[in-house]
Amino acid sequence: MTTLEWTSIFQTKIGELDRTDSWCLEFDDSLVPDLPNPGWEQYIRSACARFSCSKCKRSWPSNRVMVVFHMRLLQNQGTVKVRRFRQNCKQCSEAPMEEATFSADNISILLEKLLEKIRIKCYHEDLGERNRPFRIMEARGPHEAAHCEACKQGICSMNGTLFF
Ligand SMILES: [Zn+2]
Ligand SMILES: [Zn+2]
């Protein structure tokens, strides 16, 4: 259900580009940060989202949800693959990694930035810097590295800033 929201916001923003190429957004949990396949560009970003534990139903917000995009434009067909890093509950033992739930606002802000990267990296447009910060979540306490999939893979702090 959340993937539908991503897809429809993505297609709306792609439509605003006014290009004849068609683009699709694919969810791929096997994407490796910093290792895009040859010919693919990467955009990696720390975003804001909410998680909820499927064992105890507790929910928590996080402002360090790593999202990795790999994108390619090839013969009028553009492809974006996205991986949203998961987190798990710190109160349950052996808690499963949970998918993040993003607000429509924050999906929109994230994909807007992605579209800028597509214009720069795939269409070689020269865009000035623009900033639109995420709506920060009220996170209680520090980021829990032990419960963050991106931290476990050593990529979480790489682009920790929310404002770029
Ligand atoms: Zn739990
Ligand atoms: Zn982390």
Is residue 157 over pLDDT 70? no
In a domain? residue 72: yes
- Give the mean pLDDT of the chain: 90
130 Cβ contact list (under 8 Å, min separation 6): 116
In a domain? residue 163: no
**Please, what sign has the CA dihedral across residues 107, 109, 113, 115?**
positive
In a domain? residue 164: no
Higher-scoring residue by pLDDT: 138, 91: 91
Ion ligand 2 neighbours (CB, 5 A) are: 148, 150-151, 156
In a domain? residue 109: yes
pLDDT of the residue at 162: 43
Ligand nearest to the Cα of 47, by number: 2
Is residue 60 over pLDDT 70? yes
In a domain? residue 157: no
Is residue 133 over pLDDT 90? no
Ligand 2 center from residue 160 Cα (angstroms): 9
In a domain? residue 42: yes
Give dist(CA 145, CA 154) in Å, integer. 10
Ligand 2 center from residue 7 Cα (angstroms): 25
Contact 137, 47 (CB under 8 A): no
Higher-scoring residue by pLDDT: 5, 3: 5
pLDDT of the residue at 131: 66
The mean per-residue pLDDT over the stretch 122-126 comes to 91
Number of domains the chain contains: 1
Ligand 2 center from residue 148 Cα (angstroms): 5
**Please, what sign has the CA dihedral across residues 121, 102, 45, 55?**
negative
Q: Which domain holds residue 134?
A: 2-152
Distances (CA, A) of 85 to 8, 22, 63, 66, 119: 21, 27, 12, 5, 25
Ligand 1 center from residue 130 Cα (angstroms): 38
In a domain? residue 6: yes
Ligand nearest to the Cα of 56, by number: 1
In a domain? residue 158: no
3-state SS, residue 50: strand
Residue 160 pLDDT class (50, 70, 90 cuts): very low
- ∠ Cα 40 41 45 (to 5°): 135
Higher-scoring residue by pLDDT: 159, 111: 111
